[in-house]
Structure 1
Amino acid sequence: MKKINLSVAAVLLAASFIYSSCIGSYALFNKYEKWQTHMTSNKYVNGIVGLLIEWLVAPICLFVDSLVLNTIEFWSGNNPLADNTQTVMGQDGRYYVVKTSRQGYEIKAPTGEVTYFLHDEATDSWSMKQNGVVKEIFRFNPDGTIQATMKNGEKINVTNDQAGLDMVRAEVMSTVNFFAAR
């Protein structure tokens, strides 16, 4: 009797660590669950099919997530199956699709125009790529300052604080032409 209780306790303890969801996003299981609940437009058919395959598919998905995919996510920072795309409302009230990657961000406008914000680890800089043209936006200097690139191509070094942000803002505003009409 003690061996059975000890075995049950060991299994429950192991399950509490595996299924605690603190080690990963469980992307495979979540994709399966979303598919299973939306495979047809009839919720009863979804439920019946779910009951028939749940006992086999769900444990396999959890096992693969727990031991393989979440381990990859823990060590690399990326789950191969995790959805790295989200929709964000811009300041103009329109929705943009933002996709993250190791290199940076891909932003797709409602018009279909795609803009990339790319990080270069060698120079510790961020650039914008649009219509095949790449322009450096800023880079982190070894001394802790930031080198910002203005629209006219001029580069200025600023501190990495509110004063530096204010300097860049003032520089940008000085290059903007305002026209007043009556």
Structure 2
Amino acid sequence: MRKTKMMLICSILSGSLLFSSCIGSFGLWSNLKDWNQGLGNKFVNEIVFLAFHVVPVYEVAYLADVLVLNSIEFWSGSNPVAEVGSIKTVKGENGEYLVRTNADGYTITKKGEEDKQLDLVYNPENRTWNAVAEGESFELITMNEDGTITFKQKDGTPTTVSPDLMGVSTLRAQNGSLFLATR
């Protein structure tokens, strides 16, 4: 009886460490999926998708994310699979942009205008995201302890909103859009 209780307690404690209720970014599985989507046309993607389910590549990547990588990300605050230095192409209203992942944020350049760039830098001590361009730095947002976000409006007055649909609705009502001036 005593041995059974001890085994139950050990199982519960082990489970609490393995399943720490962290959602995480699923970096390994996402990178695998993105790689497959970038291979070619939809027929090639489907064949690779099916093959990766027959040979359980997707399942192993997902399980590794759930049990190990997302837990590491939760406890350490950094994604062990994050690809520092990776560059992705993003289509915007005014053309295509290259977004490079840095250790502390991102560097954004417009295709064809590589001499001009914008750095988005996270400062963990101040909990702020800053825009750096042409040697000047501007604070964009502050991430508050209570989960809200503070930013400066076009007229310079600080506004605090929650990062959910209600906060976005409040932002739109005050400014008419989501795009704000940095000064």
The TM-score with structure 2 as length reference comes to 0.48
- Greater Rg over alpha carbons, structure: 1
The TM-score with structure 1 as length reference comes to 0.48
